[in-house]
Amino acid sequence: MNQQAANWILIVLSLIAANLPFLLERPLLVLPWTKSGGQQRPAAVTWLLFLVFFALIYGLGLVAHWLIGQAVFAGGSPLQALLFLLRIVGVCVAAALLLAFSGWWKGKAPGTKSFFERLLELLTLYALVGALGFAFVAYLGSVFPQNWEFYAVTLCLFLVMGYPGFVYRYLLRKHKKRKAIE
């Protein structure tokens, strides 16, 4: 895989991940608080599950970095390219399963997610896509130290990629509802 292919994979994944919190009502994170009317569980259980969940997300980022960043892809063998793409797909499937656990655990949550919950989901997905990006950089062999400016710029780009989902959630849907009432 060359740098151009890695860039396009990251751009497409960033576009999808940045819009997911706004397009889905299903929670993507295990958070320690419950909404009113939601299923009440003991506080110790919810906090423990919250900590385990974020430890698993952190571990997934480390595994992605190890699986993809340490991959040996010399030459142009189609089998090596296929195995590398399978590693990427495997990491994405593991992330999807981990993020789907929250919706399954909470069951049918009443109401909608708050803006704060969507923001936490957006930041978590930014970290996961960033871990995949660091894995690609390690794989390509040009690892440089990153300062705070790098993270500020990439977070702003990630937020801009999530703008279509934001418009749909907070601007377009309310406008359609208002027209239906009139």
In tens digits, the chain (182 residues) has pLDDT values of 677 888 888 999 999 999 999 988 888 887 777 665 556 677 787 788 888 888 998 898 888 888 877 765 555 677 777 887 888 888 889 888 888 887 676 666 556 788 888 999 999 999 989 888 888 888 877 778 889 999 999 999 999 999 999 999 888 876 666 666 65
Domain enclosing residue 115, as ranges: 3-181
Is residue 142 packed enough to be buried (19+ CB in 10 Å), middle (13-18) or exposed (0-12)? Answer: exposed
Q: Are 88 and 69 in contact (CB under 8 A)?
A: no
Tokens of 3: 């740098």
Closest CA to 165 of 119, 96, 98, 100: 119
Residue 42 CA to its chain's centroid (Å): 28
C-alpha radius of gyration, the chain, whole number = 19
pTM: 0.78
CA 93-126-117 angle, to 5 degrees, is 95
Number of domains in the chain: 1
Closest CA to 120 of 61, 46, 33, 52: 33
